[in-house]
Structure 1
């Protein structure tokens, strides 16, 4: 029997905790819109359904309750159980074809709630279970495994599900298989965590300063108005592009899209796209260590927006140059000798790679700014949580209206607006860097 240790090698649990978080976040933020697009749901409704991610965006308001009751370890295990249940119900709903859209919307909302709460003790447990020396190294490992989970979910599981749905000529069965596989993956990590996660000592609580103390400090700090404004508008343009990109890829040419299959989109966004964003993030970290990091922050913010112009090109010319790629490595992972191939649009693949590479640069710079500002706070963890919650507000709002905008003006103008809406964030970033030492 495994003993209840106060400390264990972080390699045993940090990657799997991050991996589980990555699976659930990407389902709510991207895979759900991909599923609804493949099921024929209108772009207006897909945009509106962005609000399902609000429990993740506002999870900071649950944090005081997580801190006050039970342990971080128990919260992690409890929320993981809830995640498994939500995923299984989604799988069954699609399998029996029971009011799929309506029921799945409710279940995705519950999944988002469970994922949002799960993210809170994750961070707290990381601080409690790791030494300061370990934390410095494993912050990078944590981020890397969230990205690996995204590749696994959208680049492997979505492709498998898409191929299965095509084979049985039933897209509902394909998505049902997807959620069964996700539930199984989360169940495996849950059982692993039950036995392997340590039982760290819970630090003694300081004298209570009140629930609102961290919020008061955040909104009264130096340059608070600039900082909050920057956070709110930073992802406005990205929200338009991200939410409508899956419908754009999946819609037919007559609808203004590129007519790709679910498997092709899964490979393009989930494998190539995420890999490019990881490379961008790593390179950004290297450059931000230099003495000219303030200039690099602005350059990376521009790099996050400029590649959106490639989507304008795709929407206008709808390029159809195709090439066959071999995906046999996916069934090989499961011991199968099946030969899988897919036709990919080379220009589309290049556009996705460049855009996500720029996203990796820009988002890493944003997180760097938030962490630097949090260093001056008495509530560093809460400052980071509030900032991350607020940056999702702008993203959720633009995602909410994205479907209506696309329906009214089409994809080309939508992607143009995604660039224009990003300009205020860059201007506010320049002003913020002049106002505060970062």
Structure 2
């Protein structure tokens, strides 16, 4: 563990750099492509597919353990993101910008998923268990600051710049600004991130690709041999299924014209609501959920937490049905959405930590669980736009509520392997 650099110097910047590319790809790109005239079906398909590399992290990590160091991967992936964001700036200026931009974003997605692995590895390697507990809040805060910055400040900036320079140049300016930020963070980490750009491998690490693959197979065999694992995987996939189905459509619906069944928010309105009240509600919901679950125990409240997690989709159905003209009603709905999302998301993470991950390969098994969880969001998101185009926003969000029912049934029925103290039941 490194004692030469305070975690306060580098933990927030690592997790900010971890969050920014993900939010740009999964959320902000939706708004950009919407402004540039791409159909909802294409937007949701490709924006969802771009998150696939985050489901492939268990495949990347054995190779990363052999070739290179954690600091190398953190710095180099940040540099890759900076370069790609600059290339997106250039690509948005050509006629066939959409396929070129998607290809560049795919490269940034692969780089971003590798940054996640290296960033988490650096955190665990250089912090003691006590420090890891102390700085876990810094992680979440920094990641959420990246969300606020991207969804709020950058989207608001697009709205402001588009008045004088046009929508296309506004988006180009925002992406090049994000690229400059990632470049500065990479230079900062080159100097202040603990570890070395070259360091000897520990003896227990795999020395060859063959050794890494053997370890990889052993981890997967032990994972799928766990008690109730198939029920757990079904639960993980169904818990976020409605989120995956609706989450890509939600911002498109909010920006769509009223005549098209949407709300008609401008980029400035979207940025202010999401970047202020929405983010505050998400953080409050997450914190309250943690205290609520710790007081009553996850086993007792899992169904209620899952129910609250689906509140956002009731909100969107009501917004689509009534199409309120008052910005206050819309802001209130989005605030409630983010509170429910933050409150409910904690439940699934804790379930994976306490019921899926325990064992000799805890970190690897947790990574497998989160990777499969990402698939439950990615796959329905790929088809959500096509369904929305066919049925309209109101019926689409009603269908999303029906899709939530199997996950709620699983939350009510799912068995537990461990009690609150970590002992087998």
TM-score relative to the length of structure 1: 0.89
Hey, which bits of structure 1, 4+ residues long, moved more than 3 A?
200-204, 206-209, 433-438
Counterparts of 1:423-434 in structure 2, within 5 Å, are: 423-434=405-416
Superposed displacement of residue 297, structure 1: 2.6
Aligned mate of 1:351, from 318, 333, 357: 333
Q: Which residue of 2 aligns with 1:144?
A: 141
Q: Which residue of 1 aligns with 2:309?
A: 304
CA deviations 1:233-259 (Å, max 9, x no partner) are 221101122100111011111211111
Superposed displacement of residue 356, structure 1: 0.9
Superposed displacement of residue 83, structure 1: 0.6
Q: Which residue of 2 aligns with 1:171?
A: 167
2:357–2:363 CA contact under 8 A, matched in 1: no
Superposed displacement of residue 112, structure 1: 1.0
Superposed displacement of residue 6, structure 1: 5.7
Aligned mate of 2:401, from 407, 410, 419: 419
Aligned mate of 2:225, from 220, 224, 228: 220
Q: 1:156 to 1:415 in 2, by over 3 A?
A: same
Q: Which residue of 2 aligns with 1:35?
A: 32
2:249–2:384 CA contact under 8 A, matched in 1: yes
1:273–1:352 CA contact under 8 A, matched in 2: yes
1:154–1:266 CA contact under 8 A, matched in 2: yes
Counterparts of 1:38-437 in structure 2, within 5 Å, are: 38-49=35-46, 50-94=48-92, 96-168=93-165, 170-199=166-195, 203-205=202-204, 210-321=215-326, 345-374=327-356, 376-434=358-416, 437=419
Whole-angstrom distance in 1 between the partners of 2:216 and 2:373: 21
Superposed displacement of residue 151, structure 1: 0.3
Whole-angstrom distance in 1 between the partners of 2:288 and 2:372: 26
TM-score relative to the length of structure 2: 0.92
The DSSP-based 3-state class of the residue aligned with 1:377 is coil
Whole-angstrom distance in 1 between the partners of 2:109 and 2:52: 8
Whole-angstrom distance in 2 between the partners of 1:41 and 1:272: 29
Q: Which residue of 2 aligns with 1:17?
A: 14
1:312–1:412 CA contact under 8 A, matched in 2: yes
Superposed displacement of residue 204, structure 1: 4.0
What is the alpha-carbon root mean square deviation over aligned residues?
A: 1.9
Superposed displacement of residue 413, structure 1: 1.5
